[in-house]
Chains A and B, each alone.
Chain A
Amino acid sequence: MSTTVAEKERSGEPVAPQKLEDVVIRFAGDSGDGIQLTGTQFSNTSALFGNDLSTLPDFPAEIRAPQGTLPGVSAFQVRIADYDIHTPGDAPDVLVAMNPAALKKELEDLKANGVIIVNTDEFNARNLARAGDAKSPLEDGSLAKFRVFQVALGTMTRRALEGSGLDNKSQERCKNFFALGMVYWLFSRPLEPTVDYLKKNFAKKPELADANIKVMKAGWNFCDITGLFQVRYEVPPAAMEAGIYRNIHGNSALSLGLVAASRRSGLPLFLGAYPITPASDVLHQLSGYKSFGVTTFQAEDEIAAMCAAIGAAFGGALAATTTSGPGIALKSEAMNLALTVELPVVICDIQRGGPSTGLPTKTEQSDLLQVMFGRNGESPLPVIAAASPKDCFDAAIEACRIALKHMVPVVLLSDGYIANGSEPWKLPRIEDLPDLRREFRTDPEGFTPYVRDPETLARAWAIPGTPGLEHRIGGIEKEDVTGNVSYDPHNHEHMVHLRADKVARIADDVPELAVHGDPQGGDLLVLGWGSTLGSITGAVNLARKDGLAVSRAHLRYLNPFPRNLGEVLARFERVLVPEMNLGQLAMLLRARYLKDVITLSKVQGRPFARHEVYDEIHRILEPKHVH
């Protein structure tokens, strides 16, 4: 047996932690085990340390699923690296398993020779049975290809807290911090950020803060003293662009983007929302921004949330609503109302697995066709998509910009993966954010409700309270310009074309699609949209290192498409479209450009692993090498 770090230290031998470029850690336990908090703490500490990182929380829809069962497992994966990474990683290097169910459920993905830290206290007959194990995997040799570290986390935690005066239940709840202390030791992380966090967040219950800190330090010391791991790792900081950073979740970035748009437009933000997973965090966060003049309205249902946003937009607010796929289904009629009365509303769809209730806490990109076409009549709406947690900020601002400038409701697509995932965000300078100011109409001279900007076709925004501009709008077809109710067949046809044209013209107001790799064209283009950006970027970069002629491009604008998209598609022999659906973007591309694109589909409630896209690139370009 080799000497341990502790022995080396005692002998005065210098102990240099082994440097790693990149490591993936997955914490897993029961939904009451504090896994999400543990993972978040490790991520934040690593962010402050300077690593690039990407996180993937994965938790059940039930608040407290039956204890110890497979459906009750909550997991949090974080990847930290000393270089620019794009995904939370395909396979963990380290798995922390708090019970048999967590071990069983999460083991499949673990790399060979990966580290397992397992809480032996929970490996009793009852819990093994709950996980469906006849025999303990700790004893039957099934973990031979991994490095297993068996630790009685609960027992150790209770020992550390002897004499603390805390009851058994409270003591038991600290055990995730023992595990966190161990992982901090293993990856040479400082404890201070978590100590600060605990002191701040448990300020009213200092005994709990102290207990968790004590247990975390015990976990650290346990590793230090026992030499359990024999090795220690370090992931040096990434060489990131100079600037001020914070770690950000997608829903948080989206909330901040809406507030930023409010400030940059000078319009008060109004959010109408009904609670729905995974969008509710935006409602929560914006509810805390009252000092920014933000009004949040928790409506009686999804329909009212949308309708209230429309009412607020009529009144001159920057109006938004946040929801997920089932909510969009309910809002459809009201979305069409906003479209036909031409009012700016930003409709945020944080997609989740469907149909129906589907997989509320899991990710999917299957609402694209719903937001494109899920309404009665010819009802074109601009649709844009956020590509990563931090990108939700820019995407929210862009959605507001289009809505205000073009007087249209805009759909902003995000999804559970980027909404709950996090990454470091280089903070923008306020003065670099776009100027979204636009004027209300005040001049009665020549005013009619559908008088338009000749370039964008946006109608004038004349808000109630303005003398001399009294007018009526409504969902019934209107005569162009005058806004009077009209059943005239030719007027209707004109208005249908006009609404389509108005949205189509937005293409003139957004950037062309950029191709990364070989802009002049080549064998294969991997074209994505939304949250697949990370997996696609990682896969294409890797394939290019292999010498393959593959490029990539990513669509922020799904309706209208960038004006050069057809031309970009024509430059490539083949086009691969990875989507977390059955090929919805592919269907649009085929219909619009007659390009026979290749779909790579995944609908498992989980994002693409980099290797899944990478393997597909190889399969297409070098079929003979793939088995």
Chain B
Amino acid sequence: MSTEAPTLTKKDFQSDQEVRWCPGCGDYAILSAVQQVFPELGIPREKFVVVSGIGCSSRFPYYMNTYGFHTIHGRAPAVATGLKLARPDLEVWIATGDGDAMSIGGNHLIHTLRRNVGVKILMFNNRIYGLTKGQYSPTSELGKKTKSTPTGSVDYPFNPLSLAIGSGATFIARSVDIFQQHLKETLRRAARHQGTAFVEIYQNCNIFNDHAFTYMTEKEVKDDATLYLEHGKPMVFGKNRDKGIRMRGTEMEVIELGKGLSADDCLVWDETLENPATSFLVAQLLPPKFPTPIGVLRSVDEQTYESRVVEQIEAAVEKKGPGKLEELLYSGDLWTVHADHSIS
């Protein structure tokens, strides 16, 4: 019998640093969820590394009593990739935001996703730049008035889930800061995934973009405005479970159940489809016409980047034997100069 790892608790993952987010910030809820889920995973604490970039979200590592690396703006996925390649044994999580991941770090994000590096990316999306005090972000809605767009933003926003699908991500999910149970379950799912897990977390910035998500988080509207994706179950939603999503041609539509239509007419959600087209359609479900989908949009198994790299190294060692430095240096066309200057 192997010795049991000591049981860890949330407290074990709380660092001694004072948490310095604004009172009421959605980041607190995300921190709490992560600190609750990590001890459940059965992984020794020293194996966790939280890597971040720059922004409010990226202060995250300081508050986690794990190994942590607060890097530079947008580069967390690149640092994490190097770390994971050097140390595939580690459990590497990235905390990032919509500006950090989608704007300055967009390149690293898409390449990490396409390579399927075994890291978890938690992207806190508050649709605003918080730490720089309130400029619009790549996920801010068209027309948004901010400090840098006094007459409204003229940028079309990114849809982070669509971007992740387009980049070939193998695990894509969305949750919301205040939906604690859902968020924790989503984190558990991400933790179990072998490749890159991309989780968009709607997070309220109560200082610069308050109420950004109340259209779907307020108690009265929540059930009608939210679509919980559950694998193998029909896509039904609504306070009275009286609405559903079905395919019409190549598009999705909302149907009202009960008038000759039932849950059987709804699309049965399948997050494991190899073809990401359906996931893409779900990612495109936007309010007000559609409920906002939350849950797992895609979960497929592909070999991870680091394991392919390790495999090639192991194959080379297997084939050639472990490299010997002397043989390497003393290779190619050699000649010997003897003490009498003769050459052979």
Complex contacts, A469 vs chain B, CB 8 Å: 46
Query: For the complex, is A206 an interface residue (Cβ under 8 Å from B)?
Result: no
Contact (Cβ within 8 A) A50 B72: no
CA distance A473 to B69 in the complex (A): 5
Complex contacts, B49 vs chain A, CB 8 Å: 314, 464
Contact (Cβ within 8 A) B46 A293: no
Contact (Cβ within 8 A) B15 A465: no
Per-position binary interface string of chain A over residues 449-465, scored 1 when its CB falls under 8 Å from any chain B CB and 0 otherwise: 00000000000000111
Contact (Cβ within 8 A) B341 A474: no
Contact (Cβ within 8 A) B337 A245: yes
Q: A247-B333, A295-B85, A464-B49 are in contact. Are A304 and B107 (CB under 8 A)?
A: yes
Contact (Cβ within 8 A) B82 A312: yes
Residue from the list A245, A256, A311, A430 in contact with B78, Cβ < 8 A:
A311
Query: For the complex, is B321 an interface residue (Cβ under 8 Å from A)?
Result: yes
Q: Looking at the assembled complex, report how far the CB atom of B304 sits from the nearest CB atom of chain A, in whole angstroms.
A: 14
Contact (Cβ within 8 A) A260 B337: no
Q: Looking at the assembled complex, report how far the CB atom of A78 sits from the nearest CB atom of chain B, in whole angstroms.
A: 15
Which one of A41-49, A521-529, A546-554 is at the interface? A41-49
Q: A295-B313, A301-B107 are in contact. Are A243 and B70 (CB under 8 A)?
A: no
Query: For the complex, is B47 an interface residue (Cβ under 8 Å from A)?
Result: yes
Contact (Cβ within 8 A) A314 B333: no
CA distance A303 to B109 in the complex (A): 13
Contact (Cβ within 8 A) B62 A256: no
Complex contacts, A315 vs chain B, CB 8 Å: 82-83, 86-87, 90
Contact (Cβ within 8 A) B334 A245: yes
Number of interface residues of B (CB under 8 A): 63
Q: Looking at the assembled complex, report how far the CB atom of A513 sits from the nearest CB atom of chain B, in whole angstroms.
A: 28
Contact (Cβ within 8 A) A291 B82: no
Contact (Cβ within 8 A) B71 A307: yes
Complex contacts, B51 vs chain A, CB 8 Å: 311
Contact (Cβ within 8 A) A464 B67: yes
Residue from the list A245, A307, A463 in contact with B79, Cβ < 8 A:
A307
Per-position binary interface string of chain B over residues 59-99, scored 1 when its CB falls under 8 Å from any chain A CB and 0 otherwise: 00110111111111001001111111111011000000000
Q: Looking at the assembled complex, report how far the CB atom of B75 sits from the nearest CB atom of chain A, in whole angstroms.
A: 4
Complex contacts, B70 vs chain A, CB 8 Å: 472-476
Per-position binary interface string of chain B over residues 162-178, scored 1 when its CB falls under 8 Å from any chain A CB and 0 otherwise: 00000000000000000
Residue from the list B64, B85, B107 in contact with A312, Cβ < 8 A:
B85
Query: For the complex, is A272 an interface residue (Cβ under 8 Å from B)?
Result: yes
A interface: dominant SS: mixed
Complex contacts, A242 vs chain B, CB 8 Å: 337-339, 341
Within B279-323, which residues are at the interface with A (CB < 8 Å)?
309, 312-313, 315-317, 319-323
Complex contacts, A473 vs chain B, CB 8 Å: 68-70
Complex contacts, B319 vs chain A, CB 8 Å: 291
Per-position binary interface string of chain A over residues 167-194, scored 1 when its CB falls under 8 Å from any chain B CB and 0 otherwise: 0000000000000000000000000010
Look across to chain A and name the residue whose beta carbon is closest to the beta carbon of B309.
A295
Contact (Cβ within 8 A) B86 A295: yes
Query: For the complex, is A95 an interface residue (Cβ under 8 Å from B)?
Result: no
Look across to chain B and name the residue whose beta carbon is closest to the beta carbon of A299.
B78
Interface centre among A47, A308, A430 (most CB of B within 10 A): A308
Q: Looking at the assembled complex, report how far the CB atom of A302 sits from the nearest CB atom of chain B, in whole angstroms.
A: 10
Contact (Cβ within 8 A) A308 B67: no
CA distance A49 to B337 in the complex (A): 10
CA distance A426 to B64 in the complex (A): 53
Residue from the list A193, A244, A300, A313 in contact with B330, Cβ < 8 A:
A244
Query: For the complex, is B343 an interface residue (Cβ under 8 Å from A)?
Result: yes
Query: For the complex, is A326 an interface residue (Cβ under 8 Å from B)?
Result: no
Q: Looking at the assembled complex, report how far the CB atom of A407 sits from the nearest CB atom of chain B, in whole angstroms.
A: 15
Complex contacts, B328 vs chain A, CB 8 Å: 256, 259, 289, 292
Contact (Cβ within 8 A) A291 B336: no
Query: For the complex, is B44 an interface residue (Cβ under 8 Å from A)?
Result: yes
Q: Looking at the assembled complex, report how far the CB atom of A1 sits from the nearest CB atom of chain B, in whole angstroms.
A: 37
CA distance A308 to B64 in the complex (A): 22
Query: For the complex, is A67 an interface residue (Cβ under 8 Å from B)?
Result: no
The 9 A-B pairs of least Cβ separation, nearest first, read A474-B70, A311-B82, A308-B82, A292-B323, A307-B78, A290-B316, A311-B83, A472-B68, A304-B78
A sample of 10 inter-chain contacts (CB < 8 A) reads: A291-B313, A307-B78, A310-B71, A311-B81, A315-B86, A464-B49, A465-B67, A472-B62, A472-B67, A474-B62
